[in-house]
Amino acid sequence: MVTIAVIFMNMSRQRSLGGGSQLVLDYLKRKHTENPNFYYAIQGDHDPLTANIFWIDATSRINYTYFGDTVVFDTSYCSDGYKVPFATFTGLNHHGQPTLFGCALMLDESEAAYIWLFQTWLHAMSGQSPVSITTEPARFVQMAVSQVLPNTRLRYCKWNMFRETETHLGHVYQSHHTIEVEFRKCVDESETIGEFESRWGTLLEQYYLMDDEWMRSVYDARRMWVPVYMRDTFFGELYSDENEGRNIYFDGFITSDTTLQGLIKDYEKAVGSWHEKELQADDDTSNTMPMLKTPSPMEKQAANVYTKKIFMKFQEELVETLANTATELEESGGVTMLRVAKFGEDHRAHIVTYNSLETNASCSCQMFEFSGVICRHILAVFRAKNVLTLPSDYLLKRWTRNAKSGGSLDEHAVRELTNSRESLTIRYDNLRQEVIKFVEEGAKSIQVYNVAMSALEEAAKKVASVKNQGHGVSQGRSLANGDSSVASVQPAEEKVKKIQELTAELDITNKRCEVYRANLLAVLKDMEDQKLNLSVKVQNARLSLKE
């Protein structure tokens, strides 16, 4: 694995936050008591007030089973500019929004500490490694990824590389204002390795950087961060921009002024905010049909399958096929090679290989491999070959409306998880998600509300019946927190605890339904009052006309 440790060097350091760590520990213990699937761990035998701490909530753990194919590990909050050394694991949900996969306080930033963190995180994720991970170009992090996630593709954050380059070449950026634009074009707009190499050489010559140590190190690490070298691996990014690979989950919540006392409050605000945004995106996808721009059955199919944001990206690619033509180059045994180019841009053509027997294709741009959304070049070939609907291979489930239903990204992993000590997490979160969806649907009208309430009352009776019989609650084990071990929980105790959790969940749901009902009744009353007022105004207007 290539490294640029000459430029980016982790300094092993130990930080102390005084007694403030106790606030975090108290919070984590309370969250675990409220939900046994809220997991946290403290590194080794260190003093809990000076040791590294990792935590992840139950929702994040279940979301990882659906969206854990690509991960961003961010240590930017660990820099000296921040008061709290806060590290995060995040990913992308089916709307392309950031989703949380765990957090850590890194008071010790040694190689061993990062190895512990990744091992602990992987344990919390039941050993399922992501396809790809994006990190800052830090040597200790790189070593940890290499050791703990040997089969995961490591990428350096492009945004970080741009920022660091501007810092190290500050004198050049000040005297040559065009270098920033040219540097970004070289990185972002190069569609082939040859094109990148050519532009890079021109860049070095134009700005006299042939002997610059920084640029030499950045070039040596090009396979770790320049997009054209990474496009054969899934990173889930739909648009190429300067923020590629950057974690924005806590932007606007955690700042350089955030203290340890304020960390938990800001953390919960961020979690709540993104949860609300996901619900809004779910609602927008479910209740609004996007406007179709072509008569293509494929577009209609995609509109019904994808979430709204992903469909908009697909639609953009589909519309572009109108300006792209596919020309056959050669054919052999049902496999055809075609050249696809936009009208007037023959010099930027792409090669598509199409298999008519299996109705699939691959493109030299590798957009599908990188983002999970099919490119305009393959779509142009499908149009030329009269393929009217998208083959299932190109409908990546993680981008669909039903991303969280049925099997996950790794169904085998979920089956293993269900049979393991973490099965309690799966059961808890599946129930929780279904209850939330049930409540949201039940609040939409009085009729649906009444049906939902009846169903909940019936469910409560069945749960009570199971509770009285002492059957139906599967045995399991609760994740122990505070160290790396897993403590056993007696089956009877777990049954009682699970019943208590379900009963509490039903109580909360009933209360929410009552709130929704009160709100709906208030809205209906307002509408009736408004209707009455309008009727009076109309009647007065009619009388005025008669007069």
Biggest CA-to-CA distance, the chain? 93
For residues 67 and 140, state if they share a domain: yes
215 lies in a domain? yes
Return mean pLDDT, the chain: 83
511 lies in a domain? no
User: What's the predicted TM-score (pTM) here?
Assistant: 0.75
- The last residue of one of the domains, among 178, 208, 243, is 243
CA geometry: angle 73, 77, 79, nearest 5 deg: 110
Q: Is residue 118 over pLDDT 50? A: yes
Residues forming beta bridges with residue 155, ordered by sequence position: 134
Over the stretch 135-152, which tens digit does the pLDDT of each residue have? 999 999 999 999 999 999
Q: Where is pLDDT greater, at 544 or 187?
A: 187
264 lies in a domain? yes
For residues 331 and 385, state if they share a domain: yes
Over the stretch 13-59, which tens digit does the pLDDT of each residue have? 556 665 667 888 899 999 999 999 999 999 976 666 778 999 999 99
- The last residue of one of the domains, among 220, 254, 288, is 288
For residues 205 and 221, state if they share a domain: yes
391 lies in a domain? yes
State the amino acid at position 175 in one-letter form: S
Please give the pLDDT value at position 63: 96
Task: Please name the residues in contact with 54: beta carbons below 8 A apart, sequence gap of 6 or more.
Answer: 40, 41, 102, 103, 104, 117, 120, 121, 124
- The last residue of one of the domains, among 372, 399, 426, is 399
Domain that holds residue 235: 158-243
For residues 130 and 255, state if they share a domain: yes
Task: Please name the residues in contact with 258: beta carbons below 8 A apart, sequence gap of 6 or more.
Answer: 82, 83, 84, 86, 266
Q: Where is pLDDT greater, at 173 or 8?
A: 173
For residues 213 and 255, state if they share a domain: no
For residues 102 and 6, state if they share a domain: yes
With CA atoms as reference, report the closest residue to 97 among 117, 116, 72, 119.
72
For residues 259 and 283, state if they share a domain: yes
For residues 49 and 141, state if they share a domain: yes
CB 146 within 8 A of CB 135: no
For residues 276 and 359, state if they share a domain: no
For residues 150 and 168, state if they share a domain: no
Number of domains in the chain: 3
Please give the pLDDT value at position 448: 73
481 lies in a domain? no
520 lies in a domain? no
103 lies in a domain? yes
For residues 249 and 236, state if they share a domain: no
Q: Which two tokens stand for residue 321?
A: 């096929």
Q: SS3 string of 282-342?
A: HHHHHHCCCCCCCCCHHHHHHHHHECHHHHHHHHHHHHHHHHEEEEEEEEECCEEEEEEEE
pLDDT tier at 244, thresholds 50, 70, 90: low
Q: Is residue 332 over pLDDT 50? A: yes
Over the stretch 374-411, which tens digit does the pLDDT of each residue have? 999 999 999 999 999 999 999 999 999 999 986 555 54
CB 155 within 8 A of CB 137: no
Q: Is residue 478 over pLDDT 60? A: no
Phi, then psi, of 145 in degrees rounded to 5: -65, -45
For residues 235 and 278, state if they share a domain: no
366 lies in a domain? yes
